[in-house]
Structure 1
């Protein structure tokens, strides 16, 4: 073995053979070359050791009393398929070695053992394992790059819509105000109200992005003070009741009496709850029912938002808190805080 390979961290090898001489030779030879080696006298002992801890390579004789080498490969692979096996056999049982390889063994060695061949076979097996690990890392990296590319496309599609719509409205109504001197006072007030609403929408987008960046960088400071969550629930429901009413929805409170005070940042708690209730309004059909509920569970305070809306497909549930995630295709994105299936910038649940 070259000096370069000696410097590399080698793995754990289990040598299994009912002949003490074979176990001793293999163990001493591989240990001298940097492998971490243990031995087992038969298949049963080897299987127990395999199940008890992780191994990289198992070198096993085929003909052993009790559990033979082929059975050991089959049973061990069923539990830990990532372990590689090299089987040892005499010339007369090469066909059995082939059977072991069909069961998942990497290669076989002929007895009497040639130590140089043992070294070459173990090295090739280790190289294969390292290559497999590197390929898996590359696969995961490529998968992550694809996810980031999709996230970028979704971000551009959603934010361009969320930013372009209010900017276009602001530009249009500002031009009206500047160019049309004959506008009545009532019309001017109406246009100024539209400008204010669109500026508020832009501000909300910027605040959402700032909140996410602050949270991810560890810069989101919480101001914890004694707080009764019933107060936040009442306030959020009061703020959003008109939005629910515009959709003929029933927005109800179900508050547990005598809730204990807890240390909380009331402002951020209401922000999170507001995002959840707004999400319920958007994805509950007209005429639906939304309930904001508080309760105490042992030493925990629980706030729940329940609705009879369209729900979330099971395959999507783990992703709903991702940034810019929408169940609907972003190509069909629509902006609204209250319309059925109305889209936003895709940060609401992530912020919550």
Structure 2
């Protein structure tokens, strides 16, 4: 540690994006370096200085690794600078009226040991610490809110409906399935390994699940699991899965388009051929961004915290220790290496 004009300066380990990425991201597209940072918010700012504790690995971060296009809804990362994502941190200094030293917060932060957060609009104070802090990267953070608004607000579910979820063991899918079961729906999920399929059936309580990699004909697989068709599809994958689902939707079915991870690393996205079924089946298909629904966060917490405390919902995390493990953890999302919500531990409270 050093001191500049009475201000403490510390080393600050960071994960840097080397350059924009094409194709599948590699660990070598990022590197870890050590900079320095003053542990004091600049005078006249409205910023918050945090010590990062947990970082969230999320599929949408792949789109930030390439130059912005008209299909982007969030700014690209800056090559040569730390990558950015959602995380949990402890406030060390604050010039913002809503946050004070010692507060625990979650929101957008840098992939580094310490971050000066100047864009505080999406920063939330953590008031409930009887659950693991890492949960605020997942079940009580952005993925949890995504599952909640996508299922309840976009899909308008009813008891007894038939629900299909792709990438069902991931940070969002595992929650959607449990919400649907709590409501009394019939739920099937797809995942990419036997371990994940077993997790869906034995831990999350799905009625059934299958490994999409072992299904040469997804249309036939869906007809096997949903002989009467699908009322609600929670879309995390896109491509061939969406095409097959469209053939198997029921009249007035709903599709919540949350993500399309199968398309993120392709130079040319796959086409979808069966869109005519949107008309034939009168399907409502809606894309959504969780940021449009953050006003519902208090209501979401009122729902989720009792579920967690009473054991009505369980959550599986895949923990990577240390900032140095961040690049491998993030890249692993795109080969399905993670089991559950991928979290990087920077420091423990």
Calculate the TM-score normalised by the size of structure 1: 0.23
Write 1 or 2 for the structure with the bigger share of strand.
2
Bigger helix fraction: 1
Give the structure, 1 or 2, with the largest relative contact order (CA under 8 Å, sep 6 or more). Answer: 2
